[in-house]
Amino acid sequence: MPEIILDDTAYASTTGETVLDTLTRNGATVPSSCRSGVCQTCLMRAVDGAVPPESQKGLKDTLRARGYFLACQCMPTEALRIERPGAEARRLAAKVHAITPLNREIVSVALECSDMGDYRAGQFINVFKDDSLSRSYSLASAPAIDPHLTLHVRKMENGRVSGWIHEALRVGDQVAISQPLGECFYVPSDPEQPLLLMGTGSGLAPLYGIIRDALRHGHRGPIHLYHGSGHKHGLYLIDELRALAREHANVQYHPCVSREEPSEDLRRGRVVDIALSDLTALAYWRVFLCGHPDMVQSAKKRLYLAGASLKNIYADAFIHSAA
């Protein structure tokens, strides 16, 4: 019968037995509740081996794409090496390849990491200043397009990690990072689906990766990217995004400012207000959000009320710290 490997321990399954049954029968501790696939308490991830499709029913496509499954619904047909959620957050060594200013407050940090493996444009990593201090930063890079992992780091007032990155980090330095985390990425399951990408400040980072990754996969549906800041000097990558819109007829880029009168090539207002004034029928759209947590939560609510399905709204839940 198929073998199940968890925490470097092999467990032999029996006919008609789920992964959850096999593990608990052998004394392994696995969170579970309903055992019917509803509560998703027993969520696990397949590292090696394929899980049956029925064990992934009800999961977001981003979770399915990363190998997550419900242990209580999984009757394996082949050997599986699995891990618990969060196990992928182990530390990796990375080397600083480049640090490039993007505007007055934000720098692009390119990292080399040979152990990173596969990642998805739009995910985030944790950057560790030391053993007790880390911050989460979204990836602006896209695999198969960019040779290095790229972060957009805004310098926060009295920020212990962002200040260290801006003031002390140098090309050639070694830093500790986590493996990629998060569910805010593009899945090439429906190339005709309209995409709405909305961000403020350095929240452009994952959106820049996602939009280029979608185009690399041949996405044909309309793509609208709204990037906002209080002032024009808070915007960045304007030329690159305008070039992207010129090269792809299905892409529209909307740079927005909310605290000053814009020039002719910018729009005045908050990104959520402007997007909802442009787009009124959102039931079929897939939405990606990144920026200040208050903006993200407000946008989720307003987009839902405008017809967007919650299962089609993607925004990772890490909180931007002022430190």
Instruction: Express each pLDDT in 250-275 by its tens digit.
Output: 999 999 999 998 787 899 999 999 99
Whole-number Å distance between alpha carbons of 253 and 157: 30
Task: Kindly indicate the confidence band of residue 322, based on its pLDDT and cuts at 50, 70 and 90.
Answer: very low
CATH class of 88-178: mainly beta
Helical axes 293-305 vs 271-278, angle rounded to 10°: 20
CATH number for the region 3-85 comes to 3.10.20.30
Whole-number mean pLDDT of the chain?
92
pLDDT surpassing 80 at residue 132: no
Whole-number Å distance between alpha carbons of 188 and 61: 10
Mean pLDDT of 177-198: 93
Residues of the chain with CATH 2.40.30.10: 88-178
What's residue 88's pLDDT? 62
CATH number for the region 195-314 comes to 3.40.50.80
CB 269 within 8 A of CB 248: no
Residues of the chain with CATH 3.40.50.80: 195-314
Per-state percent for the chain, helix, strand, coil, to nearest 5: 25, 30, 45
- pLDDT > 70 in the chain, percent: 97
Question: What is the spatial order of strands in the sheet that 9-12 belongs to?
Answer: 9-12, 3-6, 80-83, 43-48, 68-70
Residues of the chain with CATH 3.10.20.30: 3-85
